[in-house]
A and B are shown apart, each in its own frame.
Chain A
Amino acid sequence: MNSMFVLYLVLNTLVVLAAAPLFVSLIKKVKARTQGRSGPSVFQTYYTLAKLLKKEVIYSPNSSRIMRVTPLVNMAALLAAALFVPLVFVPEPVGGIGNIILFLYLLALAKFFMALAGLDAGSSFGGMGSSREMSISAIIEPTTIIVFAALVFVFKSLNIFDMFSTSAAAGTLTTPVLILLGISLFIILIVETSRIPVDNPETHLELTMIHEGMILEQSGRNLALMELASAIKLTLLMALLINLIVPFGLMTTFTLAGLAIAAILFVVKGSILAGIIGLFESSTAKMRFFRLPSLFAMAFFFSTLVIIIEVFA
């Protein structure tokens, strides 16, 4: 493990931690504007996290160790996963870091713990959230894997680092197929980060919530960790999309000036994508839960067709 890689580890973690709350707030801001409200400040998520850290944690007497370790495991898994997706600087991969399958399964690890924590307090809201989350993540999985397999084909590597350095070297879109894969990736992003039309991140109504239901019993610093972790997840999936489709500015050899440009460009591109997500969320209605499988089936067939026709023909 060379010094460049250590630098990357520190840098990537810091950038993801700094940028993640911003993107969450930006989506909220855009949604508020489209609804004719002025909305909270773009720094609101940072304030909320800081406030939550100062609050006490409340545990249910029914809850076990699962409830206590979940926020930590969730955060650790997402921070580890964050090292798999270079945001601004792509070094040479070391020891399997960047493996796309491992990345997917680190997210699954966090989800597994979260679903169990939802059940732990014995509240029916939590159970409902866990049940729905596990069902949805199961039926989106085939699409995710197919899209990842196509990425592996396009870039001839299983490693996200290699994919990014190929696309960064080109600076522009490597092949037009990526636009179509980008659409599939966008659908996966919407599903995996619990956004409309799959889930509604802003309600606490039992009929509509999935992700919020699972973390309903979390409080104080634990809730802060859960919120930050899901913001990181959003940022990572956004970065995957950005650095594959519009990679210009992504740095492969380290320079300070390059870092500054890459970081600014990443935040700008991320903000635009956050705006698109916000507009997308505002323009669709939340779907009824049992209508989702047909949406996913559509996403699946779309991705598979695209891949078979465009990529492998």
Chain B
Amino acid sequence: MGIEIFYLVLLLLLLGIVIPLAAAGKDRRAARTASLVCTAAASCVLALLSLIVLITSQEIAWTAYQPFDFFSVAFVIDRLAAFFLLIIAVVSFCVAIYSGEYFEHLDGGSRRNLLCAGTSLFILAMVLVVASANTYSFLLFWELMAAGSFFLVMYEYTAAETRKAGIFYFVMTQLSTLFVFLGVIVLSAGTGSSAMTLVQSPASPLIIAAFLCLFLGFSIKAGIIPFHKWLPYAHPASPSPISALMSGVMLKIAVYGLIRFLLDVFTPDIWWGLLILAAGTASAVLGIIYALKEHDIKAMLAYSSIENVGIIFIGIGLWVILNAVSLPALAMIALLGALFHSLNHALFKSLLFLTSGSVVHATHTRDIEHMGGLSHVMPWTSALFFVGALAIAALPPLNGFASEILIYTAFFSSVYAVDSLLKVVMFISLALFALTSALSAACFVKAFGSIFLALPRSRESAEAKEVPFLMLLGPAILAGACIFLGLFALQVFQLAGFSVPEPDMLIVGLLLLVMAGLTLLVLHFTASREVRISETWGCGTLSQQSSAEYSGHGLSEPIDIIFSAIYRTRMKNERSFFDERNTIFKEGTAEIRLLKLFEEYLYLPAARAAMRAATAISRVQNGCLDTYLLYVFLAVIAIIVYLGGFA
């Protein structure tokens, strides 16, 4: 039964690919709509399937195709896979609804058919990766996912910026595949099997190498610092629904890979957990610090994704550590926190990407300094973005808080149970986690404030129009899910059969409502109801101007200065004068340069080293026939000597 439903999902997604391709070069809206309807329907069925598996806890496993003894494409949907399939399903559904209107507003004519087909292909690949039961099919679909997303990023290929982003993304994603590939090969060399089953010999160096390769591969895909640079390039370049899918879902596929291998294949050591915790903490805190500096809305969201994946990695790291020091109950809380945050981040980040897509569509700019005042002209979009901002800033009673409190609880309850060195590490991590959480609130005050509040700072922003219904409906479902999962977090966990030390958020929500109600009641009887609308006082200026209000950049300036050691912005100021006493100014240059730390000190040196190695090797290939004959001759001699030596 479950298998048939799964094939129905695949069939619908394949239809979603084939229909717009069949329309070929013709610019038909009907074909695109049909494709997106198929995708949405597939998402619904997929959500149903994963809910069935999650609730009944009956896993579905089958082999789809086995051409050779050692190679098969096999699937298994257990509760973990079903959970991630649910994430894919919910986000894809909302993205499909949103895209029905959004894709029609893009330039590109019939290329939009390809975009629809590509979206379906991308979703299909992600579904297949999660459902894969052995490393072969995992790798196969992993690569399909990477390639599919590359074409989607390259949609607006005519822009030089997009081409650069696309190539950057392609290199990074191939690097990720390379390491996952290497990890899987080393793993099968160590175990002699392609199945994702428990390895019995934990300590062998081969297994450790396999873990390190896989960790690296998944980290690159998940955007863990220092392998994060592709996110702030790829997200602004790609269409917003694609950003939502990539940030909301694809990063979670990497998280899924890591959890799957740690859970089913490896028996992790404590230092693996420390490694994951350190990577997660660094990504979380640096990610949000970089996000605060951004004024490109989509790059800001990209950096905030890096932060949130960092939080998820903190949860995973804690899980591994606490398991290694035999505190399984607390470890479970950390893992549940990480998983719940994966779902929550998928929801609110897609919500934010979709609504910011609407904003970019309405204002024709991604620069938040040119927005402002949009809450008056786009009330619905601003309300939806606001829900996303509250959720991502981890404020109660929304879902972001519901998952972060689990990670906090795991930290708080375990810190005293471990030995002293570990304690110090966990303390530092906890402090940085708290810093991250508070900075993300600052970041989204900046984002919401600059985009939606005060006066418009450009003509486009003043003349913006609210987006059509479908572009509100998609995000609205996500916002509803954010509120629902926040309020009913405890109940959802109970339904899934987990008892977690989560405070009942429904009570908190009710308390807030009751208190607001009581306040209104008291005000009704005691306070004056007079209201007057009057110009903001501007120290005597005749009319208020948008140029005088606080800009997004100004808002984050104190944080820029406090963390200037991390940003390492270089300011150069050179002046020359006519006279010796330096009074009459002649000429001068001033320069503010943002240091791209990771690019300058990690990516470029690595690229140059690779280039040098390639140049060195290419000397062997000089294109001259004589040289190649010489190689053959030498090879033959070598073989004769080798064989002769053993004869």
Which residues from chain A sit less than 8 Å from chain B, CB to CB?
53-66, 72-73, 75-77, 79-80, 83, 94-97, 99, 101-102, 105-106, 108-109, 111-112, 115-116, 119-124, 126-128, 130-132, 134-135, 137-139, 141-146, 148-149, 152-153, 158, 217, 220-221, 224-225, 289-290, 293, 300, 304, 307-308, 311-313
Contact = CB atoms under 8 A, between A and B. Distances in A.
Contact of B507 (A62, A97, A135, A152): A97
A201 B535 CA distance: 25
Given A61-B535, A95-B507, A96-B508, A220 B550 contact: no
A80 B515 contact: yes
A131 to B, nearest CB: 4
B544 A62 contact: yes
B589 interface: no
A105 B401 contact: yes
State the main secondary structure of chain B at its contact with A. Answer: helix
Given A72-B516, A116-B445, A80 B430 contact: no
B559 interface: yes
B531 A308 contact: no
Contacts of A112: 390, 393, 395, 441, 444-445
A201 B640 CA distance: 91
A197 B471 CA distance: 48
Contact of A83 (B435, B452, B511, B519): B511
Contacts of A313: 420
Interface in B379-411: 382, 390, 393-396, 401, 405, 408-409, 411
A117 to B, nearest CB: 9
Given A61-B534, A153-B415, A308-B427, 11 more contacts: A58-B533, A73-B516, A108-B441, A112-B444, A119-B550, A122-B549, A130-B550, A132-B558, A134-B442, A146-B430, A149-B415
B634 to A, nearest CB: 64
Contacts of A96: 490, 502-505, 507-508
A119 to B, nearest CB: 4
| Residue among B401, B405, B454, B523 facing the most chain A CB atoms (10 A cut-off) | B454
A184 B538 CA distance: 39
Interface in B537-568: 537-538, 544, 546, 548-550, 554-559, 561-562
B325 interface: no
15 contacts: A56-B530, A58-B534, A60-B534, A61-B533, A63-B453, A75-B515, A96-B490, A101-B412, A116-B448, A119-B555, A130-B550, A146-B427, A220-B530, A308-B423, A308-B427
Contacts of B504: 95-96
A108 B375 contact: no
Contacts of A95: 503-504, 507
B454 A121 contact: yes
A206 to B, nearest CB: 9
Given A54-B527, A57-B530, A75-B516, A102 B550 contact: no
A225 B415 CA distance: 39
Contacts of B619: none
B373 A62 contact: yes
A300 B438 contact: no
A101 B409 contact: yes
Nearest to B374: A64
Contacts of B528: 53-57, 220-221
B532 interface: yes
A127 B549 contact: yes
Contact of A116 (B453, B515, B549): B453
B526 interface: yes
Contacts, number: 251
B508 A102 contact: yes
Given A65-B375, A72-B516, A79-B519, A137 B445 contact: no
A155 B579 CA distance: 72
| Residue among B408, B413, B536 facing the most chain A CB atoms (10 A cut-off) | B536
Interface in B119-162: none
Nearest to A121: B536
A97 B104 CA distance: 49
Contacts of A304: 427, 431
A155 to B, nearest CB: 11
Nearest to B443: A134
A72 to B, nearest CB: 5
A208 B442 CA distance: 20
Contacts of B516: 72-73, 75-76
A195 B526 CA distance: 30
Contacts of A145: 408, 430-431, 433-434
| Residue among B505, B511, B516, B532 facing the most chain A CB atoms (10 A cut-off) | B511
Given A64-B375, A66-B375, A221-B528, A138 B454 contact: no
B512 A139 contact: no
Given A95-B503, A130-B550, A60 B519 contact: no
A123 B435 contact: no
B432 interface: yes
Contact of B435 (A72, A97, A139): A139
Given A102-B396, A121-B454, A75 B449 contact: no
B7 interface: no
B304 interface: no
A108 B438 contact: yes
B492 interface: no
B442 A135 contact: yes
B395 A60 contact: no
B416 interface: yes
A31 B435 CA distance: 33
B43 interface: no
B396 A119 contact: no
